[in-house]
Chain A
Amino acid sequence: MENLNLVLPEIFISLSIMFLLVLGVFKKDSSKITFNLSLFAILITAIITINETFSVSRETLFNESVVIDSLSSLMKIITLVGGFLVLVISSSYLKTFKIYNIEYPILILSSILGMIVMISSNDLIVFYMGLELQSLALYVLATYNRDQLKSSEAGLKYFVLSALSSGLLLYGCSLVYGFSGSTNFDIISNQLNSNEYVLTFGIVFILVGLAFKISAVPFHMWAPDVYEGSPTTVTLFFTMVPKIAALTVFIRFLYVPFLNLIDQWQMIIVFLSIASMIFGAVAAIGQTNIKRLIAYSSISHIGYTLAGLATASNEGIQSSIIYISIYVVMNLALFCCLLMLRRKDQYYEDISDLSGLSKNHPILSLCLLVILFSLAGIPPLAGFFAKFYVFIAVLEQSMYFLAIVGLLSTVVAAFYYLRIIKIIYFDKEKDKYDTDHSLWLKFSLTVSTILILLYFIFPSQLIEVVSRINII
């Protein structure tokens, strides 16, 4: 008998989804209770994950198609915490647009379910199932504000392109299956060798599909449009949570089934990384919409995360995970600020709307200052350490070119972050924004800003947690 306790988080979250769906259908005006119950469900799932799986070093279930190890537990916890925070700060935004419905939390829960299935998958089929579950929920979420043209457009674009990439991914999976005779990652790992040229196609297809999901250049085209069109809270979800899951799968694919084929994929990852870093930095310069700008900045941040993965070392993987964790916090803080730009039920998302913010909203501006300098990677803020760890891992492998290109592109990226700071601090002020924000929004902003600001005092804790992850 399998130890079902290990998949208790997945089981619990599926049951909650079904229960909430039934509750939502049969009870009138149940938006609020659904919201609260789903928050509760995520919290319980997180607690279960910590309790049941955090101490497990490596266990497999269901004919080795699901793996529970320190990587999957940690990433699940980050996913759940991210999902929780998104949900908690969404409500006032949704109420403004009159889309505060039961579907929203349920869709978020289903996509989280898809992601945690993905994260602990050790089998092509399980992986694909999780991927599709999360993607389908995300398509609907992108169009969630369906009365707005941009939102529908975003959803459609995302659906078409994402379906294409899923197709490529599936084709890659079938090629890999054809050569190895199994869908199990461990078995594939033993069967594959680099002499099969057609196999390279399989790997490339899979990597392309995954690169699409994390929006790495040159498979990033969808990101700016989708990020701009989707409701802001959904954009926040897009920039944080699916990336964590996709990154985990990336790590899993590269370092379990394809471990022996490093020569084949290392160059691809290095290319994706360099292209994303440079393109993300350069393309963001001309943006006027904050959400588009965040899309490009997230592309360049993904570039740094991939730089860690390209090293083919445990330190590299750990540094990528640290990077993505710190990035999640910075991103959350940035979106909290964005959600505070509200005046009489209207949300503002242009960079020029930030003009002279420091005069009327000194505290909010100070938070933005810290967040933006951190995103730019200026010490002593958390963003610097994220980059620092990645480059330590990169330089350990003597990949000087990657490190120098990466650091030079931080200078380019610094320019557009500075531009926002300039607009906030040096330009003429505009009208005041409303200040009656929900408590959760203020709380998340304060906590995340303090984390960014004071990370340098206790940098060891995060490293300690992450250092348990040893894939290779």
Chain B
Amino acid sequence: MNFPILSSLILLPIVGALFLFFTKDKDGNNYTAKYVALFTTVVNFLISIYLWFSFDQSTSSFQFVEDRTWIEGFINYKVGVDGISILFIILTTFITPLCIISVNNSVKNRLRDFLIAILIMESFMIGVFCALDLVVFYLFFEAGLIPMFLIIGIWGGARRVYSAFKFFLYTLLGSVLMLVAIISIYWITGTTDVVQLYEIGIDVKYQNLLWLAFFSSFAVKTPMWPVHTWLPDAHVEAPTAGSVLLAAILLKMAGYGFIRFSLGLFPIASEVFTPLIYTLSVIAIIFTSLIALMQEDMKKLIAYSSVAHMGFVTLGIFTLQQQGIEGSIIQMISHGLVSAALFLTVGVVYDRMHSRLISTYGGLVSVIPKYSILFMLFALASLGLPGTSGFIGEFLILMGAFKDNFLVAVIASIGVILGAAYILWLYKRVVFGKLINEDLKKIVDLNRSEYFILSCLAAPILFFGFYPDPLIKTIEVSVTDLINMHNTNIASK
């Protein structure tokens, strides 16, 4: 009997949350709660690192699989990882402790409850990435709404209620159709086990409708144009740690879902709907980049940039090329790190000035140089400068796209330029220029914990920018097999 390492990854944050539940809640700096939460998430991170080291990169079959009867003769609790999902799990366990360190300044009241919500959120997110049964996946996917709703609603900004409702209802509306599809798959094939479904395959005549039902859920979550409007609201109003979780991990659930379910289960439908995805992705890249250019709110700008970056991801996935899919996965990981870092950098100045407006700032470089340097690094990573992880992802996606469809690739490349434009312009307006606002002169540079968090994020961005080999090696075999499976399915049609 192997040690149930994945279940322990899922359960550990909940155990931590239970501990927290029994500690005393007090306002202000609740160190006990914070250390308990931090300890739990760091242990979880170490476990996931161990998982990565003991992961066998030479096979695409699922590893660390646990398979337990859950509802007699119907659903099994089945979890496992392959090269695609393991990176997302590590991303989750890596980002969560950083979120917890960052709550120092941003969350003033009910810190304990906030940490409980974050921990529960972590466990659901890990669950999403290792679920190998459609129903289990759906459970984790939807359950994440509850803590996120509370995080935005209780600890958010001025328009938090509106944003929390919008976030919840949009996502729920998208997902209910997926539930219909999952139950239909059960009646069509007799199982909801993903591994078995890969082998059996789903009858061609059902694939298109089922694909659309899954798409409705993932498109909202990704978010793709035109159902992206919940994201800027949710991002802007959520507290910094909430925005980070949202941007870094929640959005990746959908990208992961596209690869695992849309491509894996409905290969023929994926081929059919590729033009749709291309169109929406290209619109997202160009259109939301232009919107981002016009934003006056820093968080909103980064939120729109997330939509544009996720446009690249969906584009890459549906190129159905080795480079495209690998690029998408790396882009998702990189975007997870970069957007988290950008939200945290915005959070740093927001905590000091309580303003997210770009016009409040200007000339920061002369007062807080350390901050400006790190911000520079993240801005460059966001636009995909070679040497940062953002470059690897975008480059591979565009390579895949050029192989598949020249026109789409050309338009997407324009998006890269726009991406550089809005992020550099943001950087210019915030950091350079004359120091006009008198209040800014009193602003202090990064404190120890902020410095630590941002350096933690900068290190992998640079490391994987220069040396993406560990990432590519981990995902390579799984992606190759996914594409092979896809091609055999297409050929056998």
Contact between A407 and B177 (Cβ–Cβ < 8 Å)?
Answer: yes
> When A391-B183, A403-B180, A407-B177 are in contact, do A422 and B146 touch as well, CB less than 8 Å?
no
For residue A369, give the distance in angstroms from its CB to the closest CB of chain B.
8
Contact between B71 and A426 (Cβ–Cβ < 8 Å)?
Answer: no
Contact between B154 and A378 (Cβ–Cβ < 8 Å)?
Answer: no
Q: How many A-B residue pairs have CB under 8 A?
A: 78
Q: Is B168 among interface residues, defined by CB-CB distance under 8 A?
A: yes
Q: Is A460 among interface residues, defined by CB-CB distance under 8 A?
A: yes
Q: Which of A202-255 contact B (CB under 8 A)?
A: none
Q: Is A120 among interface residues, defined by CB-CB distance under 8 A?
A: no
Q: Is A380 among interface residues, defined by CB-CB distance under 8 A?
A: yes
Q: Tell which of B25, B72, B160, B169 touches A411, judged by Cβ atoms closer than 8 Å.
A: B169
Q: Is B472 among interface residues, defined by CB-CB distance under 8 A?
A: no
Contact between B143 and A380 (Cβ–Cβ < 8 Å)?
Answer: yes
| Complex CA–CA separation, A256 to B180 (angstroms) | 30
Q: Tell which of B25, B139, B180 touches A407, judged by Cβ atoms closer than 8 Å.
A: B180
> When A379-B143, A380-B139 are in contact, do A407 and B72 touch as well, CB less than 8 Å?
no
The contact string, 1 if C-beta is below 8 Å from chain A, for chain B 160-183, is 110011001100110011011001
Q: Is A414 among interface residues, defined by CB-CB distance under 8 A?
A: yes
For residue A22, give the distance in angstroms from its CB to the closest CB of chain B.
50
| Complex CA–CA separation, A264 to B152 (angstroms) | 50
For residue B155, give the distance in angstroms from its CB to the closest CB of chain A.
10
Q: Is B66 among interface residues, defined by CB-CB distance under 8 A?
A: no
Contact between A395 and B180 (Cβ–Cβ < 8 Å)?
Answer: yes
Contact between A392 and B186 (Cβ–Cβ < 8 Å)?
Answer: yes
Q: Which of A364-413 contact B (CB under 8 A)?
A: 373, 378-380, 384, 388, 391-392, 395-396, 400, 403-404, 407-408, 410-411
Contact between B173 and A395 (Cβ–Cβ < 8 Å)?
Answer: no
Q: Is B297 among interface residues, defined by CB-CB distance under 8 A?
A: no
Q: For B179, what are the chain A residues with a Cβ–Cβ distance below 8 Å?
A: 388, 391, 407
| Complex CA–CA separation, A158 to B161 (angstroms) | 39
Q: For B153, what are the chain A residues with a Cβ–Cβ distance below 8 Å?
A: 421-422, 425-426
For residue B469, give the distance in angstroms from its CB to the closest CB of chain A.
39
For residue A64, give the distance in angstroms from its CB to the closest CB of chain B.
35
Contact between B186 and A404 (Cβ–Cβ < 8 Å)?
Answer: no
The contact string, 1 if C-beta is below 8 Å from chain A, for chain B 35-72, is 00000000000000000000000000000000000111
Q: Which of B93-145 contact A (CB under 8 A)?
A: 135, 138-139, 142-143, 145
Q: Is A459 among interface residues, defined by CB-CB distance under 8 A?
A: yes
Summarize B's interface: helix, strand, loop or mixed: helix
| Complex CA–CA separation, A422 to B150 (angstroms) | 9
> When A411-B172, A414-B168, A426-B153 are in contact, do A464 and B180 touch as well, CB less than 8 Å?
no
Q: Is B184 among interface residues, defined by CB-CB distance under 8 A?
A: yes
The contact string, 1 if C-beta is below 8 Å from chain B, for chain A 4-41, is 00000000000000000000000000000000000000
Q: For A407, what are the chain B residues with a Cβ–Cβ distance below 8 Å?
A: 176-177, 179-180
Q: For B172, what are the chain A residues with a Cβ–Cβ distance below 8 Å?
A: 378, 410-411, 414
| Complex CA–CA separation, A384 to B146 (angstroms) | 13
Q: Is B3 among interface residues, defined by CB-CB distance under 8 A?
A: no
Q: For B164, what are the chain A residues with a Cβ–Cβ distance below 8 Å?
A: 422, 426
Contact between A411 and B183 (Cβ–Cβ < 8 Å)?
Answer: no
Q: Is A471 among interface residues, defined by CB-CB distance under 8 A?
A: no
Smallest CB-CB separation from A460: which chain B residue?
Answer: B72
> When A400-B180, A418-B165, A459-B71 are in contact, do A408 and B143 touch as well, CB less than 8 Å?
no
Contact between B72 and A463 (Cβ–Cβ < 8 Å)?
Answer: yes
| Complex CA–CA separation, A115 to B135 (angstroms) | 37
Q: Is B149 among interface residues, defined by CB-CB distance under 8 A?
A: yes
Contact between B143 and A425 (Cβ–Cβ < 8 Å)?
Answer: no
Q: For B186, what are the chain A residues with a Cβ–Cβ distance below 8 Å?
A: 392
Contact between A418 and B139 (Cβ–Cβ < 8 Å)?
Answer: no
| Complex CA–CA separation, A262 to B45 (angstroms) | 58
Smallest CB-CB separation from B209: which chain A residue?
Answer: A400
Contact between A426 and B161 (Cβ–Cβ < 8 Å)?
Answer: yes
Q: For A456, what are the chain B residues with a Cβ–Cβ distance below 8 Å?
A: 139
Q: Is A415 among interface residues, defined by CB-CB distance under 8 A?
A: yes
Contact between B183 and A395 (Cβ–Cβ < 8 Å)?
Answer: yes
Q: Tell which of B149, B177, B187 touches A418, judged by Cβ atoms closer than 8 Å.
A: B149
Contact between B187 and A395 (Cβ–Cβ < 8 Å)?
Answer: yes
Which range holds the interface residue count of chain A? 20 to 34
Q: For B150, what are the chain A residues with a Cβ–Cβ distance below 8 Å?
A: 425
Q: For B138, what are the chain A residues with a Cβ–Cβ distance below 8 Å?
A: 379
| Complex CA–CA separation, A459 to B68 (angstroms) | 13
Contact between A408 and B71 (Cβ–Cβ < 8 Å)?
Answer: no
Contact between B146 and A373 (Cβ–Cβ < 8 Å)?
Answer: yes
Q: Which of B438-481 contact A (CB under 8 A)?
A: none
For residue B150, give the distance in angstroms from its CB to the closest CB of chain A.
7
Contact between A426 and B180 (Cβ–Cβ < 8 Å)?
Answer: no
Contact between B169 and A415 (Cβ–Cβ < 8 Å)?
Answer: yes
Q: Tell which of B71, B143, B173 touches A463, judged by Cβ atoms closer than 8 Å.
A: B71
| Complex CA–CA separation, A87 to B146 (angstroms) | 34
Contact between A411 and B146 (Cβ–Cβ < 8 Å)?
Answer: no
Q: For B161, what are the chain A residues with a Cβ–Cβ distance below 8 Å?
A: 422, 426
Contact between A414 and B183 (Cβ–Cβ < 8 Å)?
Answer: no
Contact between B173 and A408 (Cβ–Cβ < 8 Å)?
Answer: yes
For residue B177, give the distance in angstroms from its CB to the closest CB of chain A.
7
Q: For B160, what are the chain A residues with a Cβ–Cβ distance below 8 Å?
A: 426
The contact string, 1 if C-beta is below 8 Å from chain B, for chain A 313-357, is 000000000000000000000000000000000000000000000
| Complex CA–CA separation, A244 to B154 (angstroms) | 38
The contact string, 1 if C-beta is below 8 Å from chain B, for chain A 411-432, is 1001100100110011000000
Contact between A425 and B176 (Cβ–Cβ < 8 Å)?
Answer: no
> When A403-B180, A407-B176 are in contact, do A460 and B71 touch as well, CB less than 8 Å?
yes
| Complex CA–CA separation, A71 to B71 (angstroms) | 22
Q: For A410, what are the chain B residues with a Cβ–Cβ distance below 8 Å?
A: 172, 176
For residue A29, give the distance in angstroms from its CB to the closest CB of chain B.
44
Q: For B184, what are the chain A residues with a Cβ–Cβ distance below 8 Å?
A: 395, 400
For residue B23, give the distance in angstroms from its CB to the closest CB of chain A.
13
Contact between B145 and A378 (Cβ–Cβ < 8 Å)?
Answer: yes
Smallest CB-CB separation from B145: which chain A residue?
Answer: A378
Contact between A411 and B173 (Cβ–Cβ < 8 Å)?
Answer: yes
| Complex CA–CA separation, A421 to B165 (angstroms) | 11
For residue A466, give the distance in angstroms from its CB to the closest CB of chain B.
12
For residue B493, give the distance in angstroms from its CB to the closest CB of chain A.
24
Contact between A415 and B173 (Cβ–Cβ < 8 Å)?
Answer: no
For residue B421, give the distance in angstroms from its CB to the closest CB of chain A.
38
Q: For A415, what are the chain B residues with a Cβ–Cβ distance below 8 Å?
A: 165, 169
Contact between A378 and B173 (Cβ–Cβ < 8 Å)?
Answer: no
For residue A401, give the distance in angstroms from its CB to the closest CB of chain B.
11
Q: For B70, what are the chain A residues with a Cβ–Cβ distance below 8 Å?
A: 459-460
Q: For B72, what are the chain A residues with a Cβ–Cβ distance below 8 Å?
A: 460, 463-464
Contact between A404 and B177 (Cβ–Cβ < 8 Å)?
Answer: yes
The contact string, 1 if C-beta is below 8 Å from chain B, for chain A 429-472, is 00000000000000000000000000010011001100000000
Smallest CB-CB separation from B156: which chain A residue?
Answer: A426
Q: For B154, what are the chain A residues with a Cβ–Cβ distance below 8 Å?
A: 425-426
Q: Tell which of B25, B71, B142 touches A379, judged by Cβ atoms closer than 8 Å.
A: B142
Contact between A414 and B169 (Cβ–Cβ < 8 Å)?
Answer: yes
Contact between A378 and B183 (Cβ–Cβ < 8 Å)?
Answer: no
Q: For A460, what are the chain B residues with a Cβ–Cβ distance below 8 Å?
A: 70-72
For residue B15, give the distance in angstroms from its CB to the closest CB of chain A.
15
| Complex CA–CA separation, A205 to B305 (angstroms) | 61
> When A379-B139, A379-B143, A414-B172 are in contact, do A391 and B165 touch as well, CB less than 8 Å?
no
Between A and B, 22 residue pairs with Cβ closer than 8 Å are A362-B25, A378-B143, A378-B145, A378-B172, A379-B138, A379-B139, A379-B142, A384-B142, A391-B179, A395-B180, A395-B183, A403-B180, A407-B177, A408-B173, A418-B169, A421-B153, A422-B165, A425-B153, A425-B154, A426-B160, A460-B71, A464-B72
Given A395-B183, A422-B153, A460-B70, output 20 extra A-B contacts at Cβ < 8 Å: A378-B142, A379-B143, A380-B143, A388-B135, A388-B183, A391-B180, A392-B183, A392-B186, A395-B184, A400-B184, A414-B169, A415-B165, A421-B149, A425-B150, A425-B153, A426-B154, A426-B161, A459-B70, A460-B71, A463-B72
Residues in chain B within 8 A of chain A (CB atoms): 25, 70-72, 135, 138-139, 142-143, 145-146, 149-150, 153-154, 160-161, 164-165, 168-169, 172-173, 176-177, 179-180, 183-184, 186-187
